[in-house]
A and B are shown apart, each in its own frame.
Chain A
Amino acid sequence: QSALTQPASVSGSPGQSITISCTGTSSDVGGYNYVSWYQQHPGKAPKLMIYEVSNRPSGVSNRFSGSKSGNTASLTISGLQAEDEADYYCSSYTSSSPWVFGGGTKLTVL
């Protein structure tokens, strides 16, 4: 099972919005509404930010939102803050693995 495709890095200034894409296939992202997103600060464990494409767990800021179109899922962070600087990973249920992660995206807040 190949990893989902994410951009290696994205950046934005405080207050701006950024979007991170996560591209898979019809066997994973496109075939199921089980896409989730995780935030990971250096040396820390991943933290769930979005589940089932667009749902936010309790306690996660509403500046974080998720969506999906076809085989591509997206994570949007609005009103960027310095604390958002981290690595972000998407994950999807698949028909084979049964999970696959994206390669990760490093978000830099300028």
Chain B
Amino acid sequence: EVQLVESGGGLVQPGGSLRLSCAASGFTFSSYSMNWVRQAPGKGLEWVSYISSSSSTIYYADSVKGRFTISRDNAKNSLYLQMNSLRDEDTAVYYCARSIAVAGHFDYWGQGTLVTVSS
């Protein structure tokens, strides 16, 4: 069974940093691209970042470019999102989601981790 479990969320002040993790199991992690998608409270879904299976291709949404860094460790079956210079508008539930390729759909999602940016 495919499982994606996010962790690392919490309360952080504006300008602060946070690192999210996503632990994968039930599939060959190194064969799949991964993504972070977020959802602000009461709002819709927003794609945040993509990383290919080998980490050779990375994309970011304009809203986080230069502040967030996606990475993965295939030996540990883990995906990460380093978030720096956090803003109030980054407050959201962050989901990790699996995809097959850059044009692929998001076929499995984690349960999400809440990040709250507030003073």
A residues near B (Cβ < 8 Å) are 1, 3, 32, 34, 36, 38, 44-48, 51-52, 57, 89, 91, 93, 97-104
Contacts and interface: CB of A to CB of B under 8 A. Distances in A.
In the complex, the 6 A-B pairs of residues with the closest C-beta atoms, listed nearest first: A36-B105, A51-B105, A45-B109, A99-B47, A104-B44, A101-B45
A60 B10 CA distance: 34
A51 B105 CA distance: 6
A104 B35 CA distance: 20
Interface of B: 35, 37, 44-47, 50, 59, 61-62, 95, 97, 102-112
Nearest to A57: B107
27 contacts: A1-B62, A3-B44, A32-B103, A34-B105, A45-B110, A46-B37, A46-B45, A46-B95, A46-B97, A47-B109, A48-B105, A48-B107, A51-B105, A51-B107, A91-B47, A91-B105, A93-B102, A97-B47, A98-B59, A98-B103, A99-B35, A99-B50, A101-B46, A101-B47, A102-B44, A103-B44, A104-B44
A48 B37 CA distance: 14
A78 to B, nearest CB: 22
Contacts of A97: 47, 59, 61
B106 A48 contact: yes
A1 B104 CA distance: 18
Nearest to A45: B109
A38 B47 contact: no
Given A45-B110, A51-B105, A99-B50, 7 more contacts: A3-B44, A46-B37, A57-B107, A97-B47, A98-B59, A98-B102, A103-B44
Nearest to B46: A101
A45 B62 CA distance: 24
